[in-house]
Structure 1
Amino acid sequence: MAGQWTLLLAAFLLPGFLLSEAAKILTVSSSLGGSHYLLLDQVSEILQDHGHNVTMFLHIEEFLIPEFKNKNISYKVISWLPSDNHRKEFKKLFDFFDRSFRKGRGGSENILRIMEQLGIQCSDLLKRGDIMDSLKNENFDLIFIEAFDFCSFLVAEKLGKPFVAIIPTQFSTLDLGLPSPVSYVPVFRSFLTDHMDFWGRLKNLLRFFGFSMKQRQIQSIFDNTIKEHFPEGSRPVLSHLLKKAELWFVNSDFALEFARPLLPNTVYVGGLMVRPVKPVPQEFEDFIAKFGDSGFVLVALGSVVSIYQSQEVLMEMNSAFAHLSQGVIWKCNPSHWSKDAKLAANVKIRDWLPQNDLLAHPRIRLFVTHGGLNSIMEAIQHGVPMVGIHVLQEQAENLIRVEAKKFGVSLQLKQIKAETLALKMKEVIEDKRYKSAAVAASIIRCSHPLTPAQRLVGWIDHILQTEGATHLKAHGLQQPWHEQYFLDVFLFLLVVTLDTLWLCGKLLGMVARWLCGARKLKKA
């Protein structure tokens, strides 16, 4: 059996080893920073370690990616910033966006405002002849983009190079032209699972039409940018660019995701962020030891929530943690903590935590997370049950899957009350079924014959070796929508049927008139 796996691994990775020289790869990070940047950073490191020459094109905003200044990176970075006015406007909008979600007033209008600002920033970037010419002169072999920011597709199109894309969130946030039977594939923001009753299927169908219109509305925001920077006659259509990607990588895994139809150029690589486990620093070991077999709870709510946590939320969470018999290690910037507030005796706060190493610790009992996909995949890797506190809609979608797979529960940030949160945490810690489900998910995640990094590198090398992925793309991606849904065929069959019925009616009428004429002649 071991020999079979060795042959499989060799067959999969051999094209990469056959490349005569390292490829020049440009990775384009999203303007939204945070986990988006961390994912592209990991991709860049993996490809660089594999022997390729990697350059990251990065929009640096320190309030979004504070991790950048402290990182040691092995690849090259080309950075850029929009004008000061646009940066201030974006920061103001981002602050408003976050406050709205914390108060439960998030919605499509806020997403549209963010996208409008990204469209303005994209126009700023494409005007920068110095940057665009510099990227063109590098003559990259392949571009690796993060799909959340549509400007990345326009940059790839401007450079005229083949590109692959990675989805940092759930599949359902983008229309890639994949077969998506709405009877069991939940549409984004439907908050459904793959087990739908009649009313669930009705809701999902209606949500599908709404989602399609919203996608067109969001993509149309970039129309002015496209008109401004691409000559008439060769202007790309954003929805077509999505289907132009050679490969789609998905930052998820079927340990979390519902099973659904895929095309050959769609590859799951969930777990890329999971690194080899290192010993936990001594200060954390000493703290964990105080609570013996009770163990500890890890709390990390992501970069955005950590930056914008209100005092009210902090106090409610602190009170909830005080009800636990476990120790609590909490990623929370001490500068956000009021001097008048008293930290619970069983709580330790730090502005940075070795999250992956703590999740692998044998005495961890629970992970309290914001529901970001990277964090969920790390928890699944180590079989840790979760309580999710979501802010954004994509996080809510992730946590729907966590609840459906029964290795965690969730609640909204606006619902945070000490008593509610304490009850949720105790429920997951004390009910062993959550732990069992988390371990089962870990077995699924860890039993793949290839690691996420091996799948990523293997498929990238395959694309480079075969000069594209035409052989992996379904012809349906090039068909107009009326052909994909057989509307022309149905119309033809309808016309033939109606014509046949009309002709039959005419013939019956002629026969009836002939019979009536024959009777009259007999009577005469």
Structure 2
Amino acid sequence: MGPLVWMCWLLALPLLQSAKILTVCLIGGSHYLLFDEISYNFDLHGHEVRMLLQLGNPLVTGLSYAGRNGSYQTSTWSLGEDYIKQYNGWFLEQQAQFLLGRDSFNGFLNFMGHLSYQCDKLLGDGAQMGFLQAERYDVAILDAFNPCSFILAHKLGVPYVAFYPGPLNGPLSLDVPGAVSWVPAFGSQLTDRMDLWGRAKNLVYSLLGTAGQKMVWSLFKEVAERHLASGSPPGGLDDFHQKAELWAFNTDFSLEFPQPLLPSAILTGGLLNKPARPVDQDLDSWISGFGESGFIVVTLGTMVSSVSVDGLLAELVDGFSVIPQGVIWRYDRQRWPPHLSQPSNVRLVDWLPLNDLLGHDKVRLFVTHGGQNSLLQAVYHAVPVLGIPLFGDQFDNVVRAEAKGLGLGLGPARITGQLLGSTVRTLLREPRFKSAARSLSRIHRSQPAPPALRLVRWVEHVLRSGGGAHLRPAWLRQPWYQRCLLDLLLLFLAAVGGAVLLAALLLRKSKSKSKTTGPPRSKKTQ
């Protein structure tokens, strides 16, 4: 959007008092939950909101795709039933591999390859693109995890706000000015307290992260060249990131390690956190049957609740069967292996009201995959966690939870019934975990404004001020070698080297002259 259009918008804003906002959600699961909440809140504050929602990615069972209570508009798009069936079959197989403890970068690249294919088809849909371009949105709010969102915004010619659904060090997030010596890189599974080998590991992972992001962009480069009038930006994904008016991250410093932020980066973690409502009478009666022992909530995410890995399930059942607490476990009951018994203290449910259960006065522990939303809900309700990370940022998330004292982590490949039972008992018996959870909850809840309001007000600020250029430092436009002062270092080395060389030449010339003239002759005494 050019300066003239921005100026017209600024003049009209006091009269309009609302903006036309496009939210872009091309991935399901927790991404959809977040963008549903974002869309709802902007609608609640008087803005005209439409969500572009891609159907076909595994979405959340039980939620309407038409928006919460019809409060905002949606445009849905799909590749068709045949592709959806094929894609979801591949995706479920990936989840099974994660439950076996097999997470790899190749799997991530395969996932990005699918998103690139979907992106090409979406951008090539003339009717859909024509409709969105005709709407003339004032701003788009993008899922910054998916590079396609940025290409789409540029094709529509709409200024955009990048919302990243994970922590600050995500694999495809803005390069914040962190120091390698104390800000963990994505995938390093380090804390901010690193020894010599930890810093060495962090440096390697930082370099690998840059290379990995370029590999991801290579999957989208041809799509951008094919659908953008200006072609693929020379800086690739970095160029798209730097042109965002604002960056919002789904985290805050109750979980995140302290680190410097750019003025254009805001923290909005906890969008899904709400005061708990009473659970239904049947479930509450079942919980009451366990008395003061209380209950445990178990869910490994919206996308893996129907994946069967018999060996892991058997170990989980063995571990849960030896504890006195009730266990409410989100799992597709139709996919439960018929040969596997279900302990009397375990209740399987196809869907559970996670926020309300975590806010229940009888909840004692949350067993989670370590998704960002789940951990933030645990922090909000002050519930200790047992993290079983499966893929992506979940490994780093669980490390943060452990470092903050919120709980403990177990890799899925390590789990045995005995180890699970003993870990659960440790978390329940040692008061330090509950104490840390309460402390983190106070930090999270006592911020000046709730996360949804922070996001709304910052986007409104960007709209009223004519964009986010005043928030973006020149550092973002510098080449990497200038950011690292390598050109200055090279100049310094050249100057020092030149001075040393000059001194060596002068010394050599002086010695050569001394040899030519020889020592002075002494006079003979008469």
TM-score of the two chains, using structure 1 as the length reference: 0.92
**Alpha-carbon offset, residue 319 of structure 1:** 2.7
- Provide the C-alpha distance between the structure 2 equivalents of 1:266 and 1:231, rounded to a whole number of angstroms: 29
What secondary structure, in the 3-state scheme, does the structure 2 residue paired with 1:171 have?
coil
Q: Which residue is equivalent to 2:220? A: 222
- TM-align CA RMSD: 2.1
Matched, 1:161 2:158: yes
289 and 19 in structure 1: CA distance in 2 versus 1, 3 angstrom threshold? farther
Q: Which residue is equivalent to 1:43? A: 38
- Provide the C-alpha distance between the structure 2 equivalents of 1:242 and 1:251, rounded to a whole number of angstroms: 16
CA contact (8 A) 1:86 1:121 kept: no
Q: Which residue of 74, 93, 97 corresponds with 2:94? A: 97
Q: Which residue of 154, 164, 186 corresponds with 1:188? A: 186
**Alpha-carbon offset, residue 393 of structure 1:** 3.1
What secondary structure, in the 3-state scheme, does the structure 2 residue paired with 1:356 have?
helix
- Provide the C-alpha distance between the structure 1 equivalents of 2:83 and 2:64, rounded to a whole number of angstroms: 22
**Alpha-carbon offset, residue 276 of structure 1:** 3.0
- Provide the C-alpha distance between the structure 2 equivalents of 1:392 and 1:121, rounded to a whole number of angstroms: 22
Matched, 1:21 2:17: yes
83 and 336 in structure 1: CA distance in 2 versus 1, 3 angstrom threshold? closer
What secondary structure, in the 3-state scheme, does the structure 2 residue paired with 1:307 have?
coil
**Alpha-carbon offset, residue 322 of structure 1:** 1.7
Query: Structure 1 vs Structure 2: percent identity of aligned residues?
Result: 38
**Alpha-carbon offset, residue 521 of structure 1:** 7.0
- Provide the C-alpha distance between the structure 1 equivalents of 2:308 and 2:197, rounded to a whole number of angstroms: 37
Mapping 1:61-100, distance limit 5 Å: 61=56, 63-69=58-64, 72-84=69-81, 86-100=83-97
Matched, 1:130 2:121: no
CA contact (8 A) 1:311 1:337 kept: no
Structure 1 window deviating more from structure 2 (346-355 vs 250-259): it is: 346-355
265 and 55 in structure 1: CA distance in 2 versus 1, 3 angstrom threshold? same
518 and 155 in structure 1: CA distance in 2 versus 1, 3 angstrom threshold? same
- The one-letter code sitting in structure 2 at the alignment partner of 1:145 is L
342 and 101 in structure 1: CA distance in 2 versus 1, 3 angstrom threshold? closer
435 and 233 in structure 1: CA distance in 2 versus 1, 3 angstrom threshold? closer
Per-residue CA deviations over 1:142-177 (Å, capped at 9, x if unaligned) read 000011111001001111111011111122123523
- The one-letter code sitting in structure 1 at the alignment partner of 2:55 is I
Q: Which residue is equivalent to 2:262? A: 263
- Provide the C-alpha distance between the structure 2 equivalents of 1:363 and 1:181, rounded to a whole number of angstroms: 42
**Alpha-carbon offset, residue 326 of structure 1:** 1.4
**Alpha-carbon offset, residue 113 of structure 1:** 0.8
- Provide the C-alpha distance between the structure 1 equivalents of 2:336 and 2:129, rounded to a whole number of angstroms: 43
Q: Which residue is equivalent to 1:319? A: 318
What secondary structure, in the 3-state scheme, does the structure 2 residue paired with 1:257 have?
coil
What secondary structure, in the 3-state scheme, does the structure 2 residue paired with 1:189 have?
coil
Q: Which runs of 5+ in 1 are unaligned?
A: 1-16
Q: Which residue of 196, 210, 213 corresponds with 1:212? A: 210
Q: Which residue is equivalent to 2:251? A: 252
What secondary structure, in the 3-state scheme, does the structure 2 residue paired with 1:152 have?
helix
116 and 182 in structure 1: CA distance in 2 versus 1, 3 angstrom threshold? same
Structure 1 window deviating more from structure 2 (331-340 vs 113-122): it is: 331-340
What secondary structure, in the 3-state scheme, does the structure 2 residue paired with 1:222 have?
helix
- Provide the C-alpha distance between the structure 2 equivalents of 1:67 and 1:120, rounded to a whole number of angstroms: 28
234 and 376 in structure 1: CA distance in 2 versus 1, 3 angstrom threshold? closer
CA contact (8 A) 1:93 1:114 kept: no
- The one-letter code sitting in structure 1 at the alignment partner of 2:191 is T
Q: Which residue is equivalent to 2:455? A: 456
163 and 357 in structure 1: CA distance in 2 versus 1, 3 angstrom threshold? same
Q: Which residue is equivalent to 1:60? A: 55
What secondary structure, in the 3-state scheme, does the structure 1 residue paired with 2:186 have?
coil
**Alpha-carbon offset, residue 62 of structure 1:** 6.5
- Provide the C-alpha distance between the structure 2 equivalents of 1:19 and 1:314, rounded to a whole number of angstroms: 59
- The one-letter code sitting in structure 1 at the alignment partner of 2:155 is K
Structure 1 window deviating more from structure 2 (81-90 vs 160-169): it is: 81-90
Q: Which runs of 5+ in 2 are unaligned?
A: 1-12
- Provide the C-alpha distance between the structure 2 equivalents of 1:89 and 1:217, rounded to a whole number of angstroms: 25
- The one-letter code sitting in structure 1 at the alignment partner of 2:446 is S
19 and 30 in structure 1: CA distance in 2 versus 1, 3 angstrom threshold? farther
Q: How many residues align?
A: 508
283 and 233 in structure 1: CA distance in 2 versus 1, 3 angstrom threshold? closer
Mapping 1:479-518, distance limit 5 Å: 479-518=478-517
